[in-house]
Chain A
Amino acid sequence: MKANPGGQLAANQIIGRDQLIVRIWQILESKSIYINDLRRIGKTHVFEKMIANPPLRWIAVKRDLESCHSAQEFSAQVYRDAAQVLSGKESLKRGLDSVLAMFSGAEIGGVLRLPEGGEAVHWKIVLRRSFDAIQASIAESDDRVVFLWDEVPYMLDNIATRRGNAEAMELFDALRDLSQSYSKIRMILTGSIGLHHVLQQLRADGYHGSPLNHLQRVRVGPLTPEYGAELATLLLAGLQWPKKNIEECAKHLCSAVGNVPHYIHMISQHLHDAKAFDRATIDRVIRNVLLNHSDELDLPHYQNRIRKYYERTDLALIVLDNIAVAGTLPFEEIFNQICARLAFDDEELLRGLLKRLCDDHYLERDDASGDYRFYLALIRRWWCLSRSLTEPAS
């Protein structure tokens, strides 16, 4: 297996996501889903694997939406995808043709051009009618359809930029309505940036909707150690250098990068260039990446973001510094440590800050104890290096 950080993988090379995918299909039985997680954690690969092998009676439609710049384009894309995937169903075709006929629209080169002057209404109706047609075409069967929509936040951002916040808000609401109104159609929304960022911008402009409330939130997260080791083993086996203790090195590698597949691919790539792999080389390569190539991962983003978007930068930095050094900390200890450094006594403010740090994927909470820790081991390590804190033992 060749290292391919950032690239597109064949479904059989997407390792370790089967259990997550099973869970997702189970959730889809009753709800639509919003997947929110860090960039490069593997959300798109989950989609790839889902469409490669959907369960019986599920029809999956995947679409990257970042090139949609208007709600109209989006609705046209939905129409086109529906037509393509359900092309065998005459009933669907009749339903979709009726959409065109109703509005004397024409499809030009695959782009649904609707008459001028009615766009703001028409795109909603196109969406609604497309969904109606899909629902009707599968009503008598056990089939269900799921739209796997990638880069939804980019699309909404595009729309807000080009067409204005109002259209983005309307599309948000339309998506909510659609997800609640069709029993046999589901959707999974995800993207490189969190929807909450786009929502924040729209709320500043007066948007009061809660488009995500009805969606089940799912996090992809790193692989389990077993699957991380499996992936690392396959990648190291693909290198041309002498292979000694490959399994031990694989475990060491994936443990050092917190079992994130993208990082495992990336470090394997660097090991190819290092022309060797053993524990010492792996450590050296990772350290070199963190110190000298941190821009490839845009690790400074994690610090810059704090300074740019967090009102209490001082608090956030103390929290992250302390957790980086300690590994995990309960709320009480975090609070005490802050009080020891600052004149501070606002527990609720701290709780809010910690929640935000979790939403922004700096931190996560331990399931059992509720203690806070860095979401990704590599980020924690970089944080220590960049801020000259005690590095965690490897």
Chain B
Amino acid sequence: MSNAAFISRFSPQRSSPEDLEAILVQREPLLRDCVEKVSNSILTANKHQQLLVGPRGAGKTHLLTLIQHRIGKNKKLKNRYYLAWLGEDDLSTSFLRLLVRIYQHLQQRYPEVFDGTALAQIFGLDAEIARAKLQQLLVERIGSKTLVLLIENLDAQLKQMSEAEQRNWRGFVQNHRIVATVASAQRLTDELTGQQHCFHGFYQVRHLMPLQVDDARAMLEKLAVLRQDLPLAEFLATSRGRARVQAIHHLAGGNPRLYVILSEFLNREGLESLVQPFEQMVDTQLTAYYQERMRWLSPQQQEIVQLLCRHRLPMAVKDIAAQLFNSQQTISSQLKLLKDLGYVAPHSVGRESHYELAEPLMRLTWQVKQNEAGKPLALLVDLLRIWFDCSELSDRLTVLPTGSQIAPYVTEALAAFERGEPNLRDEMHLFSLGLIDAELCDESELAQLQDIAEELNQPKAWMKLASAMAHHDRHDEVIDCATKVIDAELDDEELRANGFWQRIVALRNLDRNVEARADAAQLQTMRSTSIFTRLLALVLDAGSEKSDTIISGLEPLLADAKSKQERSVVLMCRAQQYINNGNYSSAVCDLSEVLEIRVTPLHVYALKLRAKCLVILGDFTGSESDATAALAVGGMSKRDEVALRALRGQIYQSTQRTDEALADFQIADSLDLGKNPLSAESSLRYFFVLATELDENGRLSSLAPSAFHRFLSRLDSESKAKYEKKDISGALGTLLFSIVENQSPIDQLALVIRKIGVELAILGWINHLGSALIHQLREWQPKSYKGEKLKRRAWLTLWQSMAQTHVELEIPVRIMQTAFALFDSGDERVLLGLPLEEREILCQALAEREAKPVTQKKLVKKPKVIVEKLGRAVRQANTGKIAKN
């Protein structure tokens, strides 16, 4: 490693490879892969054609240099390849001229193999013959080795060649399998990608990504070490150092060349010798290139790019549109095109899109072009302002020699401070803060936030850090950050209140509830903070069961509410507390006021709550009206819609509007909430309407069993217990009734019945089904209608197959079988085939008076007796003590 490393900012090829290795960041995996592929091309029949793509200063030449360096060091590759490097200014208009350049480069490196005499003989020949001869010469001289071709500016090179010449090139590579290419390009042009061009898909494209902040910092640190500037290296490792790099990052845009330039600025000795060659570099190397790039753009696009050149920070679309007196839509579509062409890069800041130059060197070039003679370049002045404090700049100025070239830059930077211009470093930090999403940031961004917060030491930064820490569950650090906000001298009470809130949540997460309540109490007294924050604190403080406490605590909030929205929120909260207390009338009053205020989306919730209160108070008309209005507005959760439709459906049903009830229940049933009491209840209600109401054709719906199945499948443990208490047998009786009485053949319903059987078995309710089957037997008594025997047989067959799966149904099915034999034959002797207990059950079931169709209201209570008897019968069967007559 050299003592005073000459990192040629302008031409990595002139830097020592060891130094270039030392400062490599981010790209080691890429470099390693490229080198491996070149090696693979040299050692095997594979030939890789690679292309590195990145804007000016992205580090392409750096990588090419290191590729050359690494393959040169590899002993396995020694004497197995020849290398030719065609630089960025070496452009040819034909493949023949390209071949000549390649040969000439090879001649320089390997004169013993590629002699000049052979080449000289080709000059003056007909172009086609010369091409053929030179191809042959190269192939012969390269022999069994591989030609490693490093070629810069491939995009520009292809633009110089006609399609025919490109085909000559590609044809040579394809026919001879001796070439492995590593090329670089600033962008992917049509010649490289277009399907109509011969080089489409020919190269493996590797995009060079801009350096991230950590990479940039690491690069600067490595440069400092290389220059033996250890204090600088140590500073860069601190959080302040990291924050400084973060601030500069927006100007440098992740461009390695700019960071190399910057590193000179950070080195006092380098400053003096930097300015003039730097300006020259811009003038000679960059200006022409960027002027050419600007020429490709339309006038409107040029305006946008120039505007971005004038601004340090990314600009919002609306601001660009405003400054260019154009519509946002037009500017937005132009920005999209510019993004696709690689001129601009987008950033999301909150919900807005911001755009900045994709190539920061373009800003530099533009500044040079715009610059009046002798004035310092704005970009470099900005870099000084960000990196150095005012006092540091003053110190530097005092020690600069007379006639120093850097003095104007330092002076200009100081003048900005004196003019009272905003602190540029803080501006950059604040912008960076805006880019990081506190909820979604990863560990690396969290570390960046920390650095920025420590550097800025402003409450907003601490607040953002607290929020990010909260999302990473780092509660102790949340408390630290929030405390800094709370203790700061702040005019912004809202910010302080947010600090309290963050601290309260963190304290509760750490079970430090006493401290949390103390903060909550304090928060409630901050009358200048938002109602919402105080409301949350009140609820948190009071806990969920103390409705009276909350209701009384809401009075001052109501008095302090400044806007309709705030008042509505407080009223809604109070109404909910009234409902918790059973005080529905007061709840309706509050909700009515909320509805008068009409603040969406509270409006819908208020309607929903009032509908529920009114039905409890007996005002069915009002409740129906509210439910209808809420449903008309829409946008509510599925759960809320299910609840409202079930509520309205019940109202319709109670007022004999069956069709409307059916419609609401059907929709509620279709909105699947999974295992959920509300969902189960909706399905059950739907079932009962289907099972007991006739349709326009006078039939029962065949959808009832499916609805019942859904009811069962949606029961959770809590709702299961509830229905057990209510006696599920009645519902099962209705189910059986609906199956028998609708017009669909029974076997068509077999599948859903089997599913119901499975659900009942899971719930442990098969016994109830058995009792319902027996209870229903009287419905099967002979009525002398056509096909009744067949129908009974089908019914029996269905349940016999169910009994094979559910053993609890064996006895009921046996009883059914005997009953049907009795109905068919009329001979009571068939009863003797049953054990005594079972015979008694059957006789009791048949002796009951003929009942009307079962509805929800008319659940038969008698099945309990049958269940008990069945239970005895099962036990006796199991113990073998049945006395058979």
Q: Which residues of A contact B (CB under 8 A)?
A: 2-11, 13, 39-40, 44, 63-69, 73, 108-111, 113, 150-151, 154, 158, 161-162, 192-193, 240, 262, 266, 269, 272-273, 275, 293, 295-298, 301
In the assembled complex, the CB of A35 is this many whole angstroms from the nearest CB of chain B, namely 16
Compute how far the CA of A86 lies from the CA of B254 in the bound complex, rounded to whole angstroms: 59
Residues of A within 8 A of B45 (CB): 8-11
- Number of cross-chain contacts by CB at 8 Å: 123
Compute how far the CA of A298 lies from the CA of B194 in the bound complex, rounded to whole angstroms: 6
Residues of B within 8 A of A269 (CB): 204, 206
Chain A residue at minimum C-beta to C-beta distance from B162:
A161
Residues of B within 8 A of A9 (CB): 45-46
Compute how far the CA of A269 lies from the CA of B50 in the bound complex, rounded to whole angstroms: 11
A110 touches B196 (CB 8 A): no
In the assembled complex, the CB of B649 is this many whole angstroms from the nearest CB of chain A, namely 34
Q: Which residues of B contact A (CB under 8 A)?
A: 29-30, 33, 36-37, 40, 44-49, 95, 125, 128-129, 132-133, 136, 164, 167-168, 170-172, 174-175, 177, 188, 193-196, 198, 200-207, 340
- On whether A298 and B172 interact (CB within 8 A), knowing A2-B36, A7-B47, A162-B164, the answer reads no
B205 touches A2 (CB 8 A): no
Compute how far the CA of A141 lies from the CA of B152 in the bound complex, rounded to whole angstroms: 52
Compute how far the CA of A7 lies from the CA of B47 in the bound complex, rounded to whole angstroms: 6
Residues of A within 8 A of B205 (CB): 293, 296
Residues of A within 8 A of B95 (CB): 67
Choose from B136, B202, B206 the contact partner of A110 (Cβ within 8 Å).
B136
Choose from B167, B170, B193 the contact partner of A298 (Cβ within 8 Å).
B193
A158 touches B29 (CB 8 A): no
- On whether A67 and B171 interact (CB within 8 A), knowing A109-B129, A111-B128, A111-B129, the answer reads yes
Compute how far the CA of A73 lies from the CA of B164 in the bound complex, rounded to whole angstroms: 14
B48 touches A73 (CB 8 A): no
A151 touches B46 (CB 8 A): no
Compute how far the CA of A211 lies from the CA of B167 in the bound complex, rounded to whole angstroms: 24
Q: Which one of A8, A272, A301 has the greatest number of beta carbons of chain B within 10 Å?
A: A8
A7 touches B48 (CB 8 A): yes
| Shortest beta-carbon contacts, A-B, top 3 | A67-B171, A109-B133, A10-B45
- On whether A161 and B164 interact (CB within 8 A), knowing A2-B40, A67-B172, the answer reads yes
B164 touches A4 (CB 8 A): no
Residues of B within 8 A of A240 (CB): 29
A192 touches B200 (CB 8 A): yes
- On whether A39 and B200 interact (CB within 8 A), knowing A11-B45, A110-B136, the answer reads yes
Chain B residue at minimum C-beta to C-beta distance from A13:
B46
Residues of A within 8 A of B198 (CB): 66, 151, 154, 192
In the assembled complex, the CB of A328 is this many whole angstroms from the nearest CB of chain B, namely 25
Compute how far the CA of A63 lies from the CA of B177 in the bound complex, rounded to whole angstroms: 12
- On whether A298 and B200 interact (CB within 8 A), knowing A6-B49, A66-B171, A151-B171, the answer reads yes
Listed by A's residue number, 16 A-B pairs whose Cβ atoms lie within 8 Å are A4-B46, A5-B204, A7-B47, A8-B174, A9-B45, A39-B201, A66-B168, A67-B171, A69-B128, A109-B129, A111-B128, A193-B196, A266-B204, A269-B206, A295-B193, A298-B193
Compute how far the CA of A151 lies from the CA of B200 in the bound complex, rounded to whole angstroms: 13
A301 touches B194 (CB 8 A): yes
Choose from A8, A63, A266 the contact partner of B47 (Cβ within 8 Å).
A8
Residues of A within 8 A of B193 (CB): 295-298
In the assembled complex, the CB of B176 is this many whole angstroms from the nearest CB of chain A, namely 9
B46 touches A5 (CB 8 A): no
Choose from A2, A150, A295 the contact partner of B174 (Cβ within 8 Å).
A150
A6 touches B203 (CB 8 A): yes
B128 touches A4 (CB 8 A): no
In the assembled complex, the CB of B240 is this many whole angstroms from the nearest CB of chain A, namely 30
Choose from B33, B44, B46, B201 the contact partner of A262 (Cβ within 8 Å).
B201
- On whether A5 and B175 interact (CB within 8 A), knowing A108-B129, A111-B129, A273-B206, the answer reads no
In the assembled complex, the CB of A327 is this many whole angstroms from the nearest CB of chain B, namely 25
Compute how far the CA of A361 lies from the CA of B884 in the bound complex, rounded to whole angstroms: 82
Residues of B within 8 A of A109 (CB): 125, 129, 132-133, 136
Compute how far the CA of A73 lies from the CA of B128 in the bound complex, rounded to whole angstroms: 9
Chain A residue at minimum C-beta to C-beta distance from B131:
A67
B195 touches A298 (CB 8 A): yes
Residues of A within 8 A of B200 (CB): 39-40, 192, 298
Compute how far the CA of A9 lies from the CA of B37 in the bound complex, rounded to whole angstroms: 12
Q: Known contacts A67-B167, A108-B133; can you find 14 more A-B pairs with CB under 8 A?
A: A2-B36, A10-B44, A39-B201, A110-B132, A154-B198, A158-B164, A162-B164, A269-B206, A293-B205, A296-B188, A296-B193, A296-B205, A298-B194, A301-B196
In the assembled complex, the CB of A109 is this many whole angstroms from the nearest CB of chain B, namely 4
Compute how far the CA of A11 lies from the CA of B47 in the bound complex, rounded to whole angstroms: 12
In the assembled complex, the CB of B122 is this many whole angstroms from the nearest CB of chain A, namely 8
A113 touches B195 (CB 8 A): no
Residues of B within 8 A of A73 (CB): 128
B168 touches A110 (CB 8 A): no
B48 touches A297 (CB 8 A): no
In the assembled complex, the CB of A107 is this many whole angstroms from the nearest CB of chain B, namely 10
- On whether A66 and B170 interact (CB within 8 A), knowing A4-B37, A9-B46, A296-B193, the answer reads yes
Q: Which one of A6, A39, A161, A297 has the greatest number of beta carbons of chain B within 10 Å?
A: A6
- On whether A275 and B132 interact (CB within 8 A), knowing A66-B167, A150-B174, the answer reads no
Residues of B within 8 A of A151 (CB): 167, 171, 174, 198
Chain B residue at minimum C-beta to C-beta distance from A68:
B171
A44 touches B129 (CB 8 A): no
Residues of A within 8 A of B177 (CB): 8
In the assembled complex, the CB of A73 is this many whole angstroms from the nearest CB of chain B, namely 7
Residues of B within 8 A of A150 (CB): 174
Chain A residue at minimum C-beta to C-beta distance from B205:
A296
Compute how far the CA of A2 lies from the CA of B188 in the bound complex, rounded to whole angstroms: 23
Q: Which one of A9, A295, A301 has the greatest number of beta carbons of chain B within 10 Å?
A: A295
B29 touches A297 (CB 8 A): no
Residues of A within 8 A of B132 (CB): 109-111
Q: Which one of B175, B195, B200, B206 has the greatest number of beta carbons of chain A within 10 Å?
A: B195
A154 touches B167 (CB 8 A): yes
In the assembled complex, the CB of B475 is this many whole angstroms from the nearest CB of chain A, namely 29
Residues of A within 8 A of B33 (CB): 2, 272
Q: Which one of B45, B171, B177 has the greatest number of beta carbons of chain A within 10 Å?
A: B171
In the assembled complex, the CB of A257 is this many whole angstroms from the nearest CB of chain B, namely 14
B46 touches A8 (CB 8 A): yes
